[in-house]
Chains A and B, each alone.
Chain A
Amino acid sequence: MAEAAAKSANLVEVRTLSKIFTTRASLFGRQRSMTAVGDVTLDIPRGRVTGVVGESGCGKSTLARLVLRLLEATRGQVLFDGVDLASLPGSALRQLRRRMQFVFQDPYSSIDPRYSVSRALLEPMLVQGKTLDAKKSVEHVHRLMAMVGLNPALARSYPHQLSGGQKQRVGIGRALALQPEFLVLDEPTASLDVSIQAQIVALLERLKQDLGLTYLFISHDLGLIRYFCDRIVVMYLGRVVEVLPTANAAPRHPYTRALMDSTFEPDPLRRRVINRLSGEIPDAFNLPSGCAYAPRCPNATERCRSERPAIAFDGGHALACHHPLQ
């Protein structure tokens, strides 16, 4: 198909996206602002899993919300299949939303706790103005439940009767209800037990394969990210510091290295030597003027403290560091 041939390899392109939050001036202090996401440029290739990893406050969840325009960006663009999301009026955005969905860490934070599983799974259709007759509704619900591995007997259950893993399956089922192409998954397994976390990851792998989905996968867990993702975006205090083109690419940013060195291997014969001196994450309202990682970085120089390194792309590898490793 000619149209298909013209399609870019990237389903989503993020261009110099920023989100600045500002506190109001009050009795307790003057107005302050923080850059939750600063100048992020990122390609999300079709049919692949792009992972975003970082510690608390790095802006990964804000980025996830900006990409689906659940939050308005301060600057920059998100192009979904070539269309600038910010340019769309509400109705057109709602049309497009069908093709991109969000999976939350706690799925029932976005679902009415009085909704049964069946109603939660039907709601996306209703929001899109599609009404199904009783028979079609049951079919639709059962099809989604089968896709996410839920026993159809649970259709009439309420969230308090479900385990954490079952609730997340409902969350994923809801996200799939409108047959989207793109899922943004924000720590979908973070509050689950390990054995259940592995079940959900296996489910997401299978769904991606079967439905040809594109994922943006947000997690603080580098082990999980390196297992599941094709490309890895590393964020620190609102900025992308490195993009690894493959899960096994050697890190060149000292922060990525530190993150890897802090992740314990499940093997007592490969214990980590922990550097005791690496300090704390600075206050996001009070960032240093140069590289935000400089105060913790063993390789930092005067230049790092005064001049923020720009991100430079080298093939699929991107890096923002004045003194990269090797």
Chain B
Amino acid sequence: MAFLSVREVSVQIGKMELIDRISLDIEKGQILGLVGESGSGKSLTAMAIMGLLPLIGGRISHGSVTLDGTNLMTLPEADFRALRGRRIALITQNPMTSLDPMLQVGAQIDQVARLHLGLGAEAAKTRSIDLLQQLRIPNAALVYLQYPHQMSGGMKQRIVIAMALAGDPDLIIADEPTTALDVTIQAQIIQILVDLVRERGLALLLITHDMGVVAQACDQVVVLYAGRVAESNAVNAIFAQSAHPYTRALIACITRAGQAAGSLTGISGLVPSAASYAAGCRFQPRCTLAQAICSDVAPALQSHGQGRVSCHFPQGAQHG
């Protein structure tokens, strides 16, 4: 079994099913990109893995989440709390959701190591400054004493990464970690995350809407659409021979230099809202390949080449 294994997880809030049987596997030393547009269920998947759904009145209604052989579904909340920050760390889009504006950033990084690793004040400080240096922050000892408001967005995000690393986790979940940053800073942060995975053998779940970030950083990709997995495969296969019409359309939406003028069309229509999910394939109203069966029967997620796809008419039809 993979290091993190999410098996056919469904998530409900109230009576509404927002995620329908999502599966994903991440090994240590690997980056898995979870891609989708707003409302696809990316962030809910992260919350489900971290056991945080009760905070928003949600629950896992089907399936299982296993980390390093431990079934997280049956873990008592006290044990789960010890796990968060220690073995699983979260990096969010807005660093200020993780940082205390009233506290020097060094003290905030120290807290994690003191709580989870039981370090004393001095040892924690040495370790925090060391972490800042590893993240290539110039003048780390000085930055250690600064408050969040004295820093740029890119620097704050680096502090949040240092906090995530402070508990020496095995799995990092990064939810749109560079979306709020300028491109030159985004490139640096993505590079830092990639290096960490390679150097420390971490498992990284990288949640993003940006196919450029996926292409740059990820090993494996899971494409979500409206709460379901559309397709999952190795990154090269996702870009070179995507099987699902949605994946192909999403890649075709990316603008690049040298592309013929007028060649951009977008995907017609809108992402359905959870309240209006109909029977059948949820992409069907926007799909150019849709047939009668697509509106009647939801396609199951099936093996297709090296990956998995949920489509009645997958492309590059090797039979799985």
B293 within 8 A of A: no
B195: nearest residue on chain A (CB-CB)?
A: A276
**Does B37 lie within 8 Å of A278, measured CB to CB?**
no
How many residues on the A side are at the interface (Cβ–Cβ under 8 A)? 48
A259 within 8 A of B: yes
Residues of B within 8 A of A326 (CB): none
CA distance A277 to B188 in the complex (A): 9
Which of B37, B187, B216, B255 has the most CB atoms of chain A within a 10 A radius of its CB?
Answer: B255
Residues of B within 8 A of A198 (CB): 252-253, 255, 264-267
**Does A195 lie within 8 Å of B249, measured CB to CB?**
yes
- Give residues 211-228 of A contacting B (CB, 8 Å): 220-224, 226-228
- Give residues 254-268 of B contacting A (CB, 8 Å): 254-259, 261-262, 264-268
**Does B215 lie within 8 Å of A163, measured CB to CB?**
no
Report the minimum CB–CB distance from B257 to chain A (whole Å).
4
B35: nearest residue on chain A (CB-CB)?
A: A194
Residues of B within 8 A of A196 (CB): 37, 266-267, 270
CA distance A290 to B256 in the complex (A): 33
**Does B266 lie within 8 Å of A226, measured CB to CB?**
no
**Does B182 lie within 8 Å of A220, measured CB to CB?**
yes
Residues of A within 8 A of B264 (CB): 198, 201-202, 205, 227
**Does A197 lie within 8 Å of B266, measured CB to CB?**
yes
- Give residues 162-185 of A contacting B (CB, 8 Å): 163, 165
CA distance A112 to B266 in the complex (A): 29
What's the A-B contact tally at a CB cutoff of 8 Å?
A: 142
Known: A193-B209, A202-B264, A223-B257. A272 touches B216 (CB 8 A): yes
Report the minimum CB–CB distance from B197 to chain A (whole Å).
14
B126 within 8 A of A: no
Report the minimum CB–CB distance from B30 to chain A (whole Å).
14
B152 within 8 A of A: yes
From A197, A209, A227, A262, contact of B256 by CB (8 A) = A227
Known: A223-B255, A281-B152. A264 touches B266 (CB 8 A): no
A133 within 8 A of B: no
A207 within 8 A of B: no
- Give residues 131-154 of B contacting A (CB, 8 Å): 136, 138, 152, 154
Known: A193-B38, A199-B266, A199-B267. A271 touches B215 (CB 8 A): yes
B61 within 8 A of A: no
B191 within 8 A of A: yes
- Measured CB to CB, the residues of A under 8 A from B are 55-56, 163, 165, 193-202, 205-206, 209, 220-224, 226-228, 247-248, 258-259, 261-272, 274, 276-281
- Measured CB to CB, the residues of B under 8 A from A are 37-38, 136, 138, 152, 154-155, 182-188, 190-192, 209-216, 218, 235-236, 239, 249-259, 261-262, 264-268, 270-271
- 23 CB contacts below 8 A, A to B, read A55-B182, A194-B211, A194-B253, A195-B37, A195-B250, A197-B253, A199-B266, A199-B268, A201-B255, A205-B262, A206-B262, A209-B262, A223-B256, A226-B257, A227-B257, A248-B257, A258-B184, A263-B183, A264-B215, A271-B216, A272-B216, A276-B136, A280-B185
